[in-house]
């Protein structure tokens, strides 16, 4: 199954683990787009070609190339169609705060009145400045950043942005995305929390103009977040803007399935026009914990078994849905959310959720790690070891759609 997964380990009841584990699947199958969408994109592409040519004839126009339509609608990603997000996106340009980050030993905060607060982490000194423009566009070393649109589904934030430069960027150029803060009623819900993040791939729309879709995936909070202020670092910018949760239909499920001592529970499903969220937790019997680095590099035991939680999501019409996973896992239990990456079929009446486990039994055989390079299935098998994998289906949970 093609999927995208992010896990953060949590303390087990017998052992505290601080390691953060991130697993990214092979990617998602891109949905075939309608002829109408292709025609719209063809018109947009033709306009971009014309403007691109004008940029060469009249170089001073390069920074004036407009973005035709919403970025969610025109952005072409390999693994996901973002166009459904356009209908529910909030235009936030007038509410965005962007400031250049100071030196690494300081932190910048954008205050409610638009002034910039800089805190020196070394000596604790605080500086308040109104000399930096905290609105919409901020330039750094020949680049300017504009945050355009935002979508928040309760667990994931997607935002579009536009980069203007004074030079062409390489094919693999990207910005770092980090340090999210999610402020609700004066409290940062992301303090001491793990998260998933992607700055998105930069897509060139003219010689000096690029667009992208960035995203954050948050852990499950103890409260439903309807409104919040999101702060984060994008490249050399400190960015802040408000987010508002899109409309969704919440279905309480609380159904458990089990097999061979494995157990999984779907607690809640949230359905929206862009897809949906499935809230889950699971547990494993003794003997199926995570085999870590020590097992593969220094274990005196020749074999070991582990089990990885997986899930299949389909509907009563036979459609199977692509998803991403954000969760916390320990040695024997875990919880999190499944994020459906596409809208449900309009004629579907049931969502069919099938939790299962991939059980892996490793035999190290003659393989020994030489202290160099990675450890994986190919390396172990090439060195004389082996791997047996089987699938344990825990059951089927059927959710009636609204």
pLDDT in tens, the chain (402 residues): 444 544 443 333 333 233 323 222 222 223 333 333 333 333 333 333 333 333 333 333 334 445 556 899 888 888 889 999 999 999 888 788 887 665 556 666 666 666 667 777 666 777 665 544 333 345 556 788 889 999 999 999 999 999 888 888 877 788 888 999 999 999 999 988 889 999 998 988 888 899 999 999 998 888 889 999 999 999 888 899 999 999 999 999 999 999 999 999 999 999 999 999 999 999 999 989 888 888 888 888 888 999 999 999 999 999 999 998 888 777 889 999 999 999 999 999 999 999 999 999 999 888 877 777 777 788 888 888 899 999 999 999 999 998
Q: Name 361's bridge partners.
A: 305, 388
The pLDDT of residue 97 is 84
Any domain includes 79: no
| Domain harbouring 368, CATH code | 2.60.40.1640
Q: What number of other Cβ atoms are within 10 A of residue 58's Cβ?
A: 10
Structure token pair of residue 356: 């299962």
Any domain includes 214: yes
User: Domain check: are 207 and 267 in the same one?
Assistant: no
User: Domain check: are 153 and 195 in the same one?
Assistant: yes
User: Domain check: are 260 and 391 in the same one?
Assistant: yes
187: domain range? 84-96+136-244
User: Domain check: are 184 and 228 in the same one?
Assistant: yes
Q: Which of 206, 228, 244 is the last residue of a domain?
A: 244
* Gyration radius (Cα) of the chain, Å: 24
The pLDDT of residue 31 is 33
In angstroms, the CA 342 to CA 365 distance is 44
What pTM does this model have? 0.72
Structure token pair of residue 318: 């036979």
Residues 6+ apart with CB under 8 A from 113: none
In angstroms, the CA 356 to CA 366 distance is 31
β-strands 156-165, 137-140 pairing = unpaired
DSSP three-state, residue 43:
helix
Main-chain phi, psi angles of 88, to 5 degrees: -115, 5
| Domain harbouring 209, CATH code | 2.60.40.1630
Any domain includes 362: yes
In angstroms, the CA 313 to CA 321 distance is 6
User: Domain check: are 290 and 379 in the same one?
Assistant: yes
The pLDDT of residue 365 is 86
Any domain includes 355: yes
In angstroms, the CA 226 to CA 183 distance is 11
Q: Which of 180, 212, 244 is the last residue of a domain?
A: 244
User: Domain check: are 145 and 279 in the same one?
Assistant: no
Any domain includes 319: yes
In angstroms, the CA 165 to CA 216 distance is 25
User: Domain check: are 234 and 91 in the same one?
Assistant: yes
C-alpha triplet 66, 197, 378: angle, nearest 5°: 120
Domain total for the chain? 2
Do residues 322 and 29 make contact, with C-beta atoms less than 8 angstroms apart?
A: yes
Any domain includes 60: no
- Closest C-alpha among 262, 219, 238, 237 to residue 140: 237
The pLDDT of residue 168 is 80
The pLDDT of residue 129 is 58
Main-chain phi, psi angles of 124, to 5 degrees: 80, 5
User: Domain check: are 392 and 276 in the same one?
Assistant: yes
User: Domain check: are 11 and 158 in the same one?
Assistant: no
């Amino acid at each position: 199954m093609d999927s995208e997964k992010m896990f953060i380990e949590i303390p087990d009841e017998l052992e505290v683990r601080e390691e953060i584990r991130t697993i990214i699947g092979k990617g998602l199958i891109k949905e075939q787009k309608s002829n109408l969408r292709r025609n719209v994109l063809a018109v947009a592409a033709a306009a971009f070609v014309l403007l691109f040519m004008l940029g060469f004839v009249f170089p001073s126009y390069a920074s004036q190339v407009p973005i035709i339509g919403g970025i969610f609608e025109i952005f072409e990603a390999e693994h996901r169609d973002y166009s459904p997000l356009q209908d529910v996106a909030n235009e936030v340009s007038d509410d965005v705060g962007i400031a250049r980050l100071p030196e690494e030993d300081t932190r910048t905060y954008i205050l409610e009145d638009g002034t910039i607060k800089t805190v020196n982490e070394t000596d604790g000194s605080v500086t308040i400045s109104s000399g930096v423009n905290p609105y919409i566009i901020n330039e750094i070393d020949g680049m300017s950043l504009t945050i355009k649109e935002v979508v928040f589904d309760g667990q994931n934030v997607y935002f579009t942005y536009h980069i203007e430069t004074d030079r062409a960027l390489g094919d693999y150029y990207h910005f770092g995305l980090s340090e999210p803060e999610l402020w609700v009623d004066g409290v940062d819900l992301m303090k001491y929390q793990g998260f998933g993040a992607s700055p998105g791939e930069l897509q060139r729309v003219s010689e000096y103009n690029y667009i992208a879709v960035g995203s954050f995936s948050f852990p499950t909070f103890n409260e439903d977040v309807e409104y919040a202020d999101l702060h984060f670092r994008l490249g050399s910018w400190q960015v802040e803007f408000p987010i508002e949760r899109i409309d969704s239909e919440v279905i309480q499920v609380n159904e458990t399935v089990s097999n061979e001592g494995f157990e999984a529970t779907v607690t809640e499903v949230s359905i929206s026009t862009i897809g949906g969220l499935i809230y889950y937790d699971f547990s494993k019997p003794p003997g199926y914990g995570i085999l870590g680095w020590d097992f593969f590099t220094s274990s005196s035991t020749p074999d070991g078994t582990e089990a990885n939680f997986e899930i299949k999501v389909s509907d009563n019409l036979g459609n199977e849905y692509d998803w991403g996973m954000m969760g916390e896992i320990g040695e024997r239990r875990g919880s999190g959310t499944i994020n459906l990456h596409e809208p449900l079929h309009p004629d579907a009446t049931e969502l069919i959720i099938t939790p299962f486990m991939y059980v892996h039994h490793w035999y190290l055989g003659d393989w020994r790690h030489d202290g160099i390079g990675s450890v994986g299935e190919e390396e172990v098998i090439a060195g004389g070891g082996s791997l047996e994998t089987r699938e344990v289906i825990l059951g089927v949970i059927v959710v009636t759609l609204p």
